[in-house]
Structure formats: C-alpha cells, structure tokens
C-alpha cells in the first residue's frame, strides 16, 4: 500500500472493486486510478501500437494511458480513463489491448519489431494489392492495434436530453470558475456552472496552498454551500462541456449514474444543450511532460498529477512505501511536488532541473542543469539515468514526476476554428480572440495560473461578461492566495538515442516526428495524420504542444510559426447512447398512424412505412401464404365489387379567403378559379424549375373555400411552399391556409358497388350519377348526423369515392362500411392493391413524379395553362424541357410470367446498352391479376409513337434483360367509362 | 346524433393517462379546437367572449381559451365541445374570419404536477422537453415548439399545469416520448 494520511477520501467506508478479476479496496472520493495506485497497482494498460506496459500519467480527463473497460456484459464501457472513474462498491474494471494478460502480453512482440512500425508504416506497406485492404490488412491491424472492445449488446440503460438557457455558463469549477460563478450568481444572473469532476474545486483540491491561511477546502466548503443555496445558479458536477456550437450553444454530458453500481432506474447520462448568452472557460491547464528515452514506463507521471494523488487522494506513486521518488522539472511548479511529498513523509531522491540556475526550493538533492536520459524497469520504473555535470549515471528510483510547464486548457476556446496565440512569456499557447463568440477564458485556461490570479480573473471575467448583458456585478471578497508565477524554461525534449515518447496514447516518439519531417510532412496537419499524433480518445491533450515544439526545432521555425492543428468537438469522448437520447428503438423516429391503424392491426394487416406514416400494405386471410395472393384478391375484389382503403395520409390543406381562387391559380399549373362550387379538379403543381412537383385534387366547398389534397410524401412540403407563397410571394392576397390532414379520416370507397355501399351510410343524400357525378364533392352527414365530406374521385379507375369524417370516427366508419357492405363483398385493401389498381389505370405516383419529370413526360402537358402564369410555368417552357421526348408508356413482358424490375433501363431491341443509347427507365411495376401479366409503367424516348414495339428492359445489376412490349399506360378502361358511370 | 363510437388518438375508447412521481399526464378527449384566421380588413373578433391574445400568449379560462398561432391567426379551445360542430359555432361568432375545424387534428395532453408549490417538477420537465428559455413558457404563456422531433403547441396554464397539443397521427410517438421523460424524471437523482 502506498496510502498516506490526509486526503479527501472517506476512510470510514470501504469500497471493494476488481481489476482484471483481482479484488482491491478503496474509499469514497477515490477514482479508479487513485485506488489502484493505493493498492500498489501501477501497470494499468498496454500502448496502442507497441503494446508497451503503461501506467497512469495524469490525474484528470487528459489521461492518455490508463484506459480500461469498466463494467461487464452489456454495460461494459471500453476506453474509460481510470482517472475519471469515480470508485463505487462492486466496480469491475478490466485492462485492454493485451493477450493473454496485462503483465504477459504476447503482442509485446510489436515493440521488438518497432523499427518496422515507424510512422507512416501503414501507408507505405499496405498499399497493394488494393483489394487486400478491406478483407485482410485492416482486420489484422485492427486486431493488433486496438483499444477496448464494444460489448456488441444493446445498451440496457436509460439516457435523456435536456435544454438549459442561462446568462452565463461557467465551464470548470476550480478557483477561477468558482469565483466567476459566485460573482455572477450574487448579481442575480442566471448561471450554469459545469465541472467534469464529481467534486467542485478543480486544482484547489490537489494543492496544499492555504487560502486565507486555511486549507483550500475550508473556502471551497463555504463557496459551494452558498452556490448551492442560490436558486438562479445550477451546478452540474460530473458534467463535461464537450463542444461549443453556433449561437452560444454548448453540448454537455452529465454522468448521472455512471458512478453507481446500478443506475436503479436513473438515467445513466444526460445530454445537455446549453444556450448561454455569455460563457467563461475555466478549464484550467494541463501539465506537459518532457520526452526523454523510455519515458513511458509505469511510475513516470506528470509531477502535478503526482501532487494531486498525494494531496487529494493520499496516494504516493511508488509500488512500495520507502521507495525513492524523483522529480524532473524545467520550472518551479514541478519542485512543489517534491516539497508536498516530502511534507507527507515520502522519500525524495532529488529534483533534476535542466535550468543551470534552478532554485533550491526544498531540502533535497538538486541536479541543476541536469536531465533524465533513460529509465529501466520491466513493468514499472526501477531506475533512472541522470546526465549531470558531465556524468550519465543510473540511480534507483521507483517513481518520477515530470513537469515541462503548463498548457492552458483552451480546447473549447479553439472551437469555431479559433486559433490559439503563443505567449512567449508564458511559453504556452493561450486562447486567441477568434474563438466562439461570447466565450472568454479565465484563470489557468487564460494563462492566469496562480491561485490568486485565477480567482481574480474569474471574478473579473464574470463582471465583464455580465456588463455586456447590462447586469451590474460587484466583485466578491476573494481569499488571499499564492501568487508565484514561474514560466518554464524552453526545454521540450531530451535529445539522445532511444525512443522518447511524445504521444503516449498513439505511441508517437520524437523520432517519428523527425521521420515525418524527413518524409516532407512539414505542415503540422500533415505531421498529425502521418504519425497519428493527437488522435484517438485523448486527442493529444498531453502531447500536442510538445510535438509542435519538437517540430519547430526540426523545421527551424518558431512554435507560433509552426502553428496548431484544428480543435474540434468533442473535448472528451461522448457515448452514442447519450447523443441518441431517451427514445431509442421504435420511437427514435416518430411515426404517424392512420385513424384506422388499430382497426387494421386487429384484422391482421401487414404495415409498411410510407414517409412518417405506417400504412396497411395488405390484409392477409387464412390460407394465403404469399403476399401476392392477398394483393391479387384485394385488387380483384375492388374491380369486381367494392373495397375500402384508408387514404388519410394524403395531405389536406384548407384554403380560404377572398383571393383563395386567385392564389390557387398561381400555385397550380392548371386553372382552379373556374372550378364550380361542389366540384373537384385534378391539379398539377410545378417546381420553380419547371419540373412537376406534386399532383392531387382541389375541391371547392364554397366560393371562398377550397380543400387541396397532396401526395402523402409531399404533404408537408406543399404546405410549406404554400405558406411561403402566401407570406413571401403574394402577401397582398387575402388567403388563409391550415393543414387538416390529421383532422379528417378519409376512406376511399372504390369499385362498381361503391355507390350502393355509400348509399347505405349517407343521410338523405342523392348519390345518383346525375346528382353526384364524377368529380363532385359535397359536405353532408353520415351514420345518423355525423358531419362528413364526400368526394367522387378515383385513383383506381373504378367508380369511386373518398369519404371524410372527423378522425375519431374513422375506425367506427370502417366497421360500419364493412358491416353494411358484407353482402356486396366489401373488402379492406391496402397500399399494395392500391398500387396495382393505379398502375393498371396508368395513374402516376411518387415513382413517376420524382422531381425529374415534366408534365409533358407524364402526358399532362396540356394541363399547363397557356392563359395564366403560375409557379414554374415559365421555366417549364425552357428549351431543355420542351425538347424532352421521353413519355409515359405501359410495358408488358413478352412472357406474362416474367416480373419487371423498377429502375430497369430501356433500350431499343438489339441496341448496345450504354448511356448514349439509354432510352428511358421503368418507374413502377406490379402483377396485374386482371391482365394475368406482370406490367409496368416507364418513361420511353418517343414513347407515344412506339406502341406495339418490342424493346429491352435491362437490369445490369442482375445481368438480366427482359423483352417488353410498349403499350398504352392505361392498361384498363382507357376511355374512363368505369369511373364516370 | 351519430351512433358511431369515437376512438381516442390512441385507438381506444377511454382516455389514456399516466402518473410518474409528481407528474401526471392525461389525454383530453373532450376539448374541441378550431382555427380562426383574420381575413383582409376584418375586425379582430371576440369569439365566445375571448379576447384574442398577442404572440406568445394564451387567453381565457378553463371553459374556452385562445392561443396565438401566428399573425392574425388563433387556435380556439372549447371545453367539452368535441362532440359537436365547434368550428361552426366559432364561425358564427367570427363571421369575417376563415374558420377551420381542428378538433381531431391534434392530440391534447394535460400534464399536471402535484405537491408543487414552486413549480419545480414542471420546470424540470420543461428543461427535458423543449429548447426554450423558461420565460417563454412561464405561466400564462404559450408557444409552438417541438419535442421528440415532433411539432407541438404548448400552453403553460399554471405553474403546475402544462397543456401540449401534438399531431393526432403521431400521438403514440409523442406519448412514448413524454411518458419516458416523465418516468425518468420520477427517479430521484
């Protein structure tokens, strides 16, 4: 055990957990990393590429090495940083990327082969043969160089999404963030304070400095209590703000129950979308290391992390008490770790500081002007080599803290392509001025890293941000705090033989960067892709700036000239489950149900998606074993007797007003103003570019009142276009529109016996051909006084009607029609039969009106009125469209039993099949039980003049050609007698 | 009077309800809806004695309410009017307007919070449902918005009461979204 006294852990409780199956114990307040260290476990993972043994490097979310899988079964979460896993009783963690075990990893052989695996190795080696990449190379590489594995089971937990709106978002709850939140909340502003840790305080929790001569936890307790009492401030702990998006919107993930053994019904994580008028980035700073040969052994860690483990978690980094610890630092802050550890009784071997004038800050050996040049220890550090005053000697050392200075944690401030700015005095990048609008950095994130500066800049930052919003805030009394600022010496790596790791997670060394440079990868973005530095789950948080400095050295440029790579969300990995939110499965995408959906379901209907809608596709009967049997029967029943079908999904738009008719004349290519009250007209709408947009019917219920119907797919789009036209194009017209699609259940009643059936449900209405002819409409009552609308329109080509009643009566009306029509042989029919009927009749649907076809192609050219203008009409007369020679035709296979394929391309018989000779395509196909043949509709070059010709329908995907005969698209009743009688 | 038996937006004959913790939700199957849009040059009517509200507001009381839906357009809610021809009644009361029946265009869900003096559960619910500044849906306010990828009309009737109108055809998806949200909120964090 290396647990020492003190720390912010609750020793009154013991939490049991396992790592790779072995049992350990820790305390509330521990992270998995601190608890493992407390149990003497230093080896926590294997590196990505070379499978090098690795231990924890950091104490926060920047950790590159200690990636473990937490949980088991479906809850197993790979690539979790042990440094941010809050310990709980029963936690199970397993190491990754090793076989058979962490201590004995067969793929460690990769490390011996490292000369072959240099940067760019994959790009050079696996170039050919090309076909090998997907099936051979990639699977092998993925297996050898992997991180954790997904459980491949559905996530069992609940997630949710939420939205917060505030005046000020404070990102980070350390000294600066707390001072800012306090200032803003006291001023009455709406404030959200988010911190990724489970405890507020940030770096204050890790330092031993006094605030007002008291431990920092005293001040923290007072501030936290006050903040929690303020109703205008919302504290989100365990919450990572991972991205800055447009308009002051920030994405954040709150880990609600990740720290519990069982969520117990709680959501596991909440995805917050926070809209903030102003925001302050108080994300602190990340310490950088100094690459030297073999600097990646377990036991080598950042000095600040070492200090945090000692002060906050009462853990020292050696495996055994009494082992010696050393510090390698190019700045005064690194020395603090030695001082804090000594104060806690940890034996400090010495401080190695490359600065010749390094100050002696404590009573331990100082190697001023010295450097660490190597390490030893198979699975953990046992000795270090120190170059000092001309000697290069090995010294026993169980743990080494490294500090190369601190990088402001400016990730979020560099979203929106914000470019960090180099601060020569600080020897670090600080947030630039062109980051997300409304966001300012404070505290260490802005280079104000001393505790006193962080507190002051936080309070001032909040005051300034609120002033922008017109909210006056006064500065709080802040505690007296340490204020020793000492920038690091510009020492970025220790030159010499051996591999010196820059990016631990991606196994990128100084040599790799040099190789990239030799390969002419001299742009920093190229270097990143070539070496993979800064990629993967940690995004190079501990590596990037050091790599830039190494690259600058190689190129002879300054660090700012070298530049930085682009920062993008997310700051830390975000689970897909969190992004998907609380409605997984069926309702992830909303569906719409027709008023007769449950009625149809009770009758065994098979449903099919149609846009957002679920529509009855067909109604199988006992004994029917193939869908075609059901569909053939339904289609035949309609043509022989009567069928009913829910067509509610077709869009219905109520158009009223003194100028309603004029408005519709401008929307439809044909004329609607001449339509008589009580009549319906088929209408065609064009796109602005002249192609056909949508078709449907327009019924005139009164002089100033129309009901427009649209196709199911275009209901929303047509409504949107109409609203745009009403508000934007012709605001002078007196027109009011509103959708009524859902309000009315609309049932098609089709077939020669449809009139007989309807006469049994309407109240006192004359439905005779004379009184209610084809294309008539009326408002009336049915079934004893229920208000209804009746339209005599036909998609099937039969005598047919559509009857609309308030939606809540839709199912009951279906029942009534079935009961009243039993002796007429009435059947419900689905979308599939409806399609058969309309193809037989040559009626168009979305397959023909696909945005690429003209009225002329559809055989509806004469509907485009020459007497008036309407949307799209002028462009429909342009040369390219007028010259279009393809026209809608019917197609029948030479062998009636040969199915046609929608999308097949049409060619003159015997012609070569290539783009230049392509003569059209098949749009719709079905089997016609009335013609006892497969049939299709399609567009064919000069189609109207080629009736009777045999051509080829080619399906190059399946390599099949079908000989088809060109016929009229109106397979049945081309004169239309059936629908008019 | 027709003998056809109406069904709810969920295909049943009784209104659907759910309670999770402090929040409960019930389908309102009796309120009727009609849209009123002002025609050119017409005076703003006062249907059923309702003063028609401006943007972002609703007016009236439990018996009849009006919600602003856009420029010169309102949705009128009539309690217990779903059985009759409410649109005809409104048309008679607003003769210079375009009136359209909307009753069955929407599913109406009445969400209430109990033991809720300060509206905290309702406020928390709103953070999960709509991306709106809380002031936009303070008591007395109403707006169009969206939740769970579905368009809605939301009326904050009281600190502890929220009325949501969603597409009737999407009632099941809306319900699943709301029910799941209420269920998750009912578990203490």
B124 CB burial (10 A radius; 0-12, 13-18, 19+): middle
Query: What residues contact residue A321 under an 8 Å CB cut-off, 6+ apart?
Result: A1, A2
Q: Could B11 and A811 be called an inter-chain contact, meaning their C-beta atoms sit closer than 8 Å?
A: yes
Token digits of residue A914: 């290539």
Residues of B in contact with A742 (CB under 8 A): 104-106, 167-169
Nearest-CB residue to A812 (from B5, B29, B40) = B5
CA distance B157 to B160: 8
Q: Report residue A726 CA to chain centroid gap.
A: 35
Q: What is the pLDDT of residue A146?
A: 65
Task: Answer with the residue of higher pLDDT: A114 or B23.
Answer: B23
Residue A181 three-state SS: helix
DSSP assignment of B36-67: EEEPTTPPPP-GGGPPPP-TTBEEE-SSEEEE
CA distance A346 to A340: 9
Separation in Å, CA B146 to CA A201, B130, B149: 37, 6, 6
Helix (H) or strand (E) holding A636: helix A627-640
Residue B99 three-state SS: strand
Residue A764 sits at φ, ψ, to 5 deg, of 50, 45
Nearest-CB residue to A163 (from B1, B131, B188) = B131
Residues of A in contact with B132 (CB under 8 A): 163, 165
Residues of B in contact with A745 (CB under 8 A): 104
* CB environment A239-272: b (16+ within 10 A), e (fewer): bbbbbbeeebbbbbbbbbbbeeeebeebbbbbbb
Q: Which candidate in A191, A259, A592, A662 is best for mutational testing of the B interface (most B CBs within 10 A)?
A: A592
pLDDT of residue B121 exceeding 60: yes
| Contact between A339 and A359 (Cβ < 8 Å) | no
Nearest-CB residue to B169 (from A273, A275, A592) = A592
* Single pTM value for the model: 0.94
Residues of B in contact with A805 (CB under 8 A): 4
CA-based nearest distance A930→chain B, Å:
35
Q: What is the pLDDT of residue A460?
A: 98
Query: What residues contact residue B147 under an 8 Å CB cut-off, 6+ apart?
Result: B129, B130, B164, B174, B177, B178
CA-based nearest distance A813→chain B, Å:
7
Q: What is the pLDDT of residue A1?
A: 52
Q: What is the pLDDT of residue A712?
A: 95
Q: Could A593 and B169 be called an inter-chain contact, meaning their C-beta atoms sit closer than 8 Å?
A: yes
| Residue A645 bridge partners (DSSP) | A748
Token digits of residue A267: 């959501």
Q: In percent, how much of chain B has pLDDT > 90? A: 93
Residue of A nearest to B88 (CA): A787
Residues of B in contact with A803 (CB under 8 A): none
Residue of B nearest to A817 (CA): B4
* B13 close contact with A: CB closer than 8 A: no
| Contact between A793 and A974 (Cβ < 8 Å) | no
In CATH terms, is domain B17-186 a member of 3.30.1360.120? Answer: yes
Nearest-CB residue to A658 (from B39, B149, B184) = B39
CB atoms within 10 A of CB A860: 20
Q: Could A264 and B187 be called an inter-chain contact, meaning their C-beta atoms sit closer than 8 Å?
A: yes
Nearest-CB residue to A162 (from B35, B127, B176) = B127
Residue of A nearest to B2 (CA): A784
Q: Could you report the average pLDDT of every consecutive run of 10 residues in chain A (981 residues)? A: 88 98 98 97 91 96 96 94 97 90 83 76 71 76 74 93 98 98 98 98 96 96 97 98 97 97 92 98 98 97 98 92 95 96 94 96 94 95 97 97 98 95 96 96 97 98 98 97 92 95 95 93 90 89 95 91 92 94 88 98 97 96 97 98 98 98 98 98 97 97 98 95 97 98 98 98 97 98 98 97 98 98 98 98 95 95 95 95 95 98 97 96 98 98 96 95 97 92 82
* CB environment A9-31: b (16+ within 10 A), e (fewer): beeeeebebebbeeebebbbbbb
Residue of B nearest to A815 (CA): B4
Sheet holding B17-20, edge to edge: B17-20, B23-28, B106-113, B161-167, B150-158, B142-147
| Contact between A449 and A410 (Cβ < 8 Å) | no
CA-based nearest distance B62→chain A, Å:
23
CA distance A572 to A577: 15
* B128 close contact with A: CB closer than 8 A: yes
Q: What is the pLDDT of residue A144?
A: 66
Residues of A in contact with B11 (CB under 8 A): 593, 597-599, 811
Sheet holding A391-396, edge to edge: A371-376, A383-388, A391-396
Q: Could A744 and B104 be called an inter-chain contact, meaning their C-beta atoms sit closer than 8 Å?
A: yes
Token digits of residue A543: 């590596």
CA distance A10 to B167: 53
Query: What ipTM is given for this predicted complex?
Result: 0.98
Q: What is the pLDDT of residue A114?
A: 79
Q: What is the pLDDT of residue A140?
A: 73
Q: Which candidate in B173, B188, B189 is best for mutational testing of the A interface (most A CBs within 10 A)?
A: B173
Residues of B in contact with A734 (CB under 8 A): 39-40
CA-based nearest distance A611→chain B, Å:
13
Q: Where are the domains of chain B?
A: 17-186
Nearest-CB residue to B39 (from A591, A734, A745) = A734
Residue of B nearest to A806 (CA): B104
Lookup result for tokens 């043509």: A639
Overall size of chain B counted in residues? 189
pLDDT digits (tens, 9 = 90+) for A702-756: 999 999 999 999 999 999 999 999 999 999 999 999 999 999 999 999 999 999 9
Helix (H) or strand (E) holding B175: helix B171-185
CA-based nearest distance B135→chain A, Å:
10
Q: Could A784 and B1 be called an inter-chain contact, meaning their C-beta atoms sit closer than 8 Å?
A: yes
CA distance A69 to A72: 8
Q: What is the pLDDT of residue A844?
A: 95
């Amino acid at each position: 055990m290396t647990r020492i006294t003190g720390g912010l852990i609750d020793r009154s409780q013991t939490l049991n957990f396992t790592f790779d199956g072995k049992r350990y114990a820790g305390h509330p307040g521990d992270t998995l990393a601190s608890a493992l260290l407390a149990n003497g476990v230093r080896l926590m993972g294997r590196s990505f590429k070379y499978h090098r043994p690795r231990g924890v490097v950091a104490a926060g979310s920047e950790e590159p090495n200690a990636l473990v899988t937490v949980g088991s079964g479906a809850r197993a979460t790979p690539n979790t940083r042990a440094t941010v896993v809050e310990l709980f009783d029963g936690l199970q963690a397993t190491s990754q990327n090793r076989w058979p075990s962490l201590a004995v990893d067969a793929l460690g052989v990769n490390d011996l082969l490292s000369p072959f695996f240099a940067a760019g190795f994959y790009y050079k080696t696996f170039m050919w043969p090309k076909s090998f990449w997907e099936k051979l190379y990639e699977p092998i590489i993925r297996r050898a160089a992997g991180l954790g594995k997904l459980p491949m089971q559905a996530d069992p937990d609940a997630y949710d999404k939420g939205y917060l709106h505030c005046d000020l978002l404070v990102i980070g709850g350390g000294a600066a963030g707390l001072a800012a939140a306090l200032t803003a909340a006291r001023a009455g502003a709406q404030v959200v304070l988010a911190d990724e840790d489970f405890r507020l305080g940030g770096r204050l929790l890790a330092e031993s400095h006094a605030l007002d001569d008291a431990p920092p936890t005293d001040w923290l307790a007072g501030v936290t209590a006050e903040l929690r009492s303020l109703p205008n401030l919302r504290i989100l702990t365990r919450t990572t703000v991972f991205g800055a998006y447009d308009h002051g919107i920030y994405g954040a993930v709150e880990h609600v129950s990740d720290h519990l053994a069982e969520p117990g019904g709680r959501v596991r994580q909440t995805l917050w979308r926070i809209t903030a008028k102003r925001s302050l980035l108080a994300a602190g700073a990340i310490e950088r290391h100094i690459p030297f040969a073999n600097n990646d052994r377990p036991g080598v860690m950042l000095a600040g992390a070492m200090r945090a483990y000692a002060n906050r978690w009462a853990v020292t980094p050696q495996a055994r008490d009494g082992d010696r610890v050393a510090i390698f630092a190019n700045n005064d802050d690194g020395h603090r770790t030695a001082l804090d550890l000594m104060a806690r009784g940890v034996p400090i071997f010495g401080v190695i500081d490359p600065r010749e004038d390094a100050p002696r800050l404590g009573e331990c050996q100082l190697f001023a002007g010295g450097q660490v040049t190597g390490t030893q220890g198979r699975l953990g550090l046992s000795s270090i080599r120190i170059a000092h005053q001309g000697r290069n000697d090995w010294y026993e050392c169980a743990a080494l803290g490294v500090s190369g200075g601190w990088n402001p944690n400016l990730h979020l401030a560099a979203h929106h392509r914000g470019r960090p700015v180099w601060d020569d005095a600080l020897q670090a990048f600080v947030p630039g001025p062109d980051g997300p609008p409304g966001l300012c950095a404070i505290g260490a994130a802005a280079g104000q890293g001393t505790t006193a500066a962080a507190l002051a800049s936080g309070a001032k930052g909040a005051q300034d941000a609120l002033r922008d919003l017109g909210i006056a805030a006064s500065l709080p009394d802040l505690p007296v705090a340490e204020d020793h600022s000492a920038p690091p010496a510009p020492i970025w790596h220790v030159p010499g033989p051996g591999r010196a790791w820059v990016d631990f997670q991606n196994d990128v060394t100084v040599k790799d960067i040099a190789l990239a440079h030799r390969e002419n990868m001299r742009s920093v973005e190229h270097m990143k892709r070539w070496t993979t530095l800064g990629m993967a789950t940690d995004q190079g948080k501990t590596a990037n700036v050091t790599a830039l400095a190494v690259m600058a050295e190689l190129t002879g440029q300054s660090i700012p000239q070298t530049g930085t790579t682009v920062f993008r969300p997310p700051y830390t990995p975000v689970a897909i489950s969190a992004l998907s939110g609380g409605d997984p499965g069926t309702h992830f995408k909303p569906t719409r149900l027709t008023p007769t959906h449950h009625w149809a379901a009770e009758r065994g209907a098979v449903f099919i998606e149609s846009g957002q809608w679920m529509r009855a596709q067909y109604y199988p009967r006992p004994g029917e074993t193939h869908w075609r049997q059901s569909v053939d029967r339904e289609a035949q029943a309609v043509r022989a007797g009567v069928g009913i079908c829910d067509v509610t999904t077709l869009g219905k738009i109520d158009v009223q007003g003194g100028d309603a008719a004029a408005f519709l004349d401008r929307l439809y290519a044909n004329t609607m103003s001449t339509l008589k009250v009580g009549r319906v007209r088929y209408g065609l709408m064009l796109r602005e570019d002249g192609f056909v947009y949508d078709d449907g019917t327009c019924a005139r219920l009164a002089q100033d009142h129309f009901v427009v119907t649209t196709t199911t797919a275009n209901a929303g789009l047509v409504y949107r276009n109409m609203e745009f036209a009403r508000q934007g194009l012709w605001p002078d017209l007196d027109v009011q529109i509103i959708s009524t699609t859902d309000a009315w259940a609309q049932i098609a009643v089709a077939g020669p016996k449809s009139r007989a059936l309807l006469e049994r449900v309407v109240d006192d209405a004359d439905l005779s051909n004379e009184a209610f002819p084809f294309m008539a409409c009326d408002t009336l009552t049915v079934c004893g006084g229920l208000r209804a609308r009746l339209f005599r329109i036909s998609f099937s080509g039969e005598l047919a009607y559509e009857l609309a009643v308030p939606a809540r009566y839709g199912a009951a009306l279906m029942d009534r029609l079935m009961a009243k029509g039993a002796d007429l042989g009435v059947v419900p029919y689905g979308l599939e039969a409806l399609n058969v009927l309309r193809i037989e009749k040559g009626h168009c649907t979305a397959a023909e009106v696909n945005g690429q076809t003209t009225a002329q192609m559809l055989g509806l050219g004469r509907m485009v009125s020459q007497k008036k203008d309407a949307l799209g009409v002028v462009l429909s007369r342009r040369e390219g469209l007028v010259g279009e020679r393809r026209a809608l035709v019917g197609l029948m296979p030479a062998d009636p039993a040969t199915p046609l394929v929608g999308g097949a391309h049409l060619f003159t018989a015997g012609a070569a099949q290539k783009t230049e000779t392509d003569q059209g395509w098949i749009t719709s196909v079905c089997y016609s039980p009335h013609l006892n043949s497969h049939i299709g509709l399609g567009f064919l070059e000069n189609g109207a003049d080629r009736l009777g010709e045999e051509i080829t329908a080619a399906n190059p995907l399946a390599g099949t050609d079908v000989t088809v005969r060109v016929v009229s698209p109106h397979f049945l009743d081309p004169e239309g007698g059936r629908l008019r009688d | 009077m027709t003998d056809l038996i109406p069904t709810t937006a969920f295909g049943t004959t009784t209104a659907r309800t759910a309670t999770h913790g402090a929040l409960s939700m019930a389908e309102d199957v009796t309120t009727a809806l009609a849209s009123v849009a002002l025609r050119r040059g017409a005076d703003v009517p006062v249907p059923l004695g309702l003063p028609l509200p401006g943007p972002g507001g609703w007016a009236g009381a439990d018996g009849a309410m009006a919600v602003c839906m856009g420029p010169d357009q309102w949705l009128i809610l009539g309690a217990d009017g779903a059985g009759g021809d409410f649109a005809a009644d409104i048309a008679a009361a607003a003769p210079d307007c375009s009136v359209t029946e909307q009753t069955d265009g929407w599913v109406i869900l009445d969400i209430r919070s109990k033991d809720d003096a300060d509206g905290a559960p309702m406020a928390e619910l709103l953070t999960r449902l709509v991306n709106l500044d809380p002031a936009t849906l303070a008591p007395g306010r109403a707006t169009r918005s969206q939740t769970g990828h579905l368009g809605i009309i939301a009326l904050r009737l009281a600190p502890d009461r929220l009325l949501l109108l969603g597409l009737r055809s999407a009632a099941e998806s809306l319900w699943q979204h709301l029910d799941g949200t209420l269920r998750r909120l009912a578990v203490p964090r």
